[in-house]
Structure 1
Amino acid sequence: MSDIFKAGPGDVEITQREECFRGFYRIDRLRLRHRQFAGGMGPLLTRELFVRHDAVCVLPYDPQRDEVVMIEQFRVGALEAGVNPWLLELVAGLIDKDEEPETVARREAVEEAGLTLGALWPISQYLPSPGGSNELVHLFVGRCDSSQAAGIHGLPEEGEDIRVHVLALEDALQAVRDGKINNAASMIALQWLALNRAEVRGLWV
């Protein structure tokens, strides 16, 4: 495989940026051109950009019991996509200014699952939808005691209604195979843990 193109000065020209909407999120419209593989600059393009805070997602994992803790909540995007809008997901939250991803992971585990996490194992940073959004997701596995995970959580002032589920890791992986777990962060984290379970348990048990 040849090297992936790495942008340098002058390889992208943004000629105009317009804020189209600002609410909880923001949408900008950009006019830009970029260098093409054959050389030279391409045509002027118009692209809408969904501007979001970076996010943190964490999969709580109990290495003693080989169990994961996941949360269930309503998602409007899933509703619009025509699938069941109550999803099994990871604990997650947005990064505010000057916050470290690890701090967000620990805070959200308490708010959304009533869990105090131990060690955090960074999995990756990835772009969930780079064709139209600038969101960067910081993905972790967090050590936990799953015997303490239960109940309904979330911040009432934010309209959160979150139910906790404890699953054997094998059951969670089967839910991925069956399409019952169908969101990117959960699928990536569970598959990573399946590949690295022996190493993680070797260090955490």
Structure 2
Amino acid sequence: MSKEIPAFTSNDVEITDVTPVYNGFFKMQQYTFRHKLFAGGWSDDVKREIFERGHAVGVLPYDPSRQELVLIEQVRIGALATSSSPWLIEIIAGIIDKGETKESVCHREAMEEAGITLQHLTPACSYLSSPGGTTERLHIYVAQTDASTAEGIHGLEEESEDIRVHRVAEKTALEWLKNGHIDNAASIIALQWFFLHKSELMEQWQSQ
């Protein structure tokens, strides 16, 4: 019979040193740690550089009456190496600053990035973006909005943001998901969750 999964907890990792490596727009630190082994005993010291960018939220706004999703488009330099265009179609997202709640960030970013307000903000899921190299955890929400108010160019000048908002028909978004036109993790996960849970989500919103 298989042992309980997971076999270990956070108590089975011992961090012996954390050294700052870089402190700029983002931060990087080198962790030195050891951990328990599946075969028994402890590992030797392991060193890993970890990208520290805080934690974030992503929100997918949906207009049930128009059957439209509100998505945004902006340039992402990290996509340049492998994409024909680094301008990506994404969900609204933002970093959770100290003292903020996840919900307040959703509302703030919806206005900053798309000029829209949200109703029925609903938690969808939470995931680690790339735990081998960063501590970041993303919290995904879905919310109701009036898509007719979504238009124009948005973003904060002091953050060098240049964001175009899109009203996307539900069927089009599903096609983009299937054909790979949308290829960033947060947007894929949010859209997959939406299409899997749409029926129960609509019932929930209608009852509120």
Q: Same fold (TM over 0.5)?
A: yes
TM-score by length of 2: 0.94
Matched, 1:161 2:162: yes
The number of aligned residues is 204
Q: Aligned-pair RMSD on alpha carbons? A: 1.3
Report the alpha carbon displacement of residue 202 of structure 1 after superposing the two structures with TM. Answer: 2.1
Given that 1:127 and 1:134 are in contact with CA atoms closer than 8 Å, whether structure 2 keeps it comes out as yes
Report the Cα distance in structure 2 between the residues aligned to 1:109 and 1:16, rounded to whole angstroms.
39
Alignment correspondent of 2:19? 18
For 1:90-139, what per-residue CA distance to the aligned partner results, in whole angstroms no more than 9, with x for missing partners?
10110110110000000000000000111111011110100010001011
Q: Point out the more displaced range, 97-106 or 75-84.
A: 75-84
**Letter of the aligned partner of 1:104 in structure 2?**
V
In structure 1, stretches of 5+ residues that fail to align are none
Runs of 4+ deviating beyond 6 Å? none
Alignment correspondent of 2:117? 116
Alignment correspondent of 1:178? 179
Alignment correspondent of 2:127? 126
Report the alpha carbon displacement of residue 5 of structure 1 after superposing the two structures with TM. Answer: 2.3
**Letter of the aligned partner of 1:74 in structure 2?**
V
TM-score by length of 1: 0.95
Report the Cα distance in structure 1 between the residues aligned to 2:158 and 2:68, rounded to whole angstroms.
31
Report the Cα distance in structure 2 between the residues aligned to 1:184 and 1:133, rounded to whole angstroms.
15
Among the aligned pairs, what percent are the same residue?
Answer: 49
**Letter of the aligned partner of 2:127 in structure 1?**
Y
Report the alpha carbon displacement of residue 80 of structure 1 after superposing the two structures with TM. Answer: 3.2
Matched, 1:3 2:5: yes
Alignment correspondent of 1:194? 195
Alignment correspondent of 1:52? 53
**Letter of the aligned partner of 2:188 in structure 1?**
M
**Letter of the aligned partner of 2:7 in structure 1?**
F
Report the alpha carbon displacement of residue 204 of structure 1 after superposing the two structures with TM. Answer: 2.6
Give the SS at the match of 1:119: strand
Give the SS at the match of 1:81: coil
Give the SS at the match of 2:172: helix
Report the Cα distance in structure 1 between the residues aligned to 2:66 and 2:201, rounded to whole angstroms.
13
For 1:159-194, what per-residue CA distance to the aligned partner results, in whole angstroms no more than 9, with x for missing partners?
111001111122111101111000011101111111
**Letter of the aligned partner of 1:7 in structure 2?**
T
Given that 1:63 and 1:204 are in contact with CA atoms closer than 8 Å, whether structure 2 keeps it comes out as no
Give the SS at the match of 1:71: strand
Give the SS at the match of 1:102: helix
Report the Cα distance in structure 1 between the residues aligned to 2:10 and 2:179, rounded to whole angstroms.
43
Report the Cα distance in structure 1 between the residues aligned to 2:158 and 2:197, rounded to whole angstroms.
38
Alignment correspondent of 1:97? 98
**Letter of the aligned partner of 1:34 in structure 2?**
H
The 1:83–1:195 alpha-carbon spacing in structure 2 relative to 1, beyond 3 Å, is same
Report the alpha carbon displacement of residue 43 of structure 1 after superposing the two structures with TM. Answer: 1.8
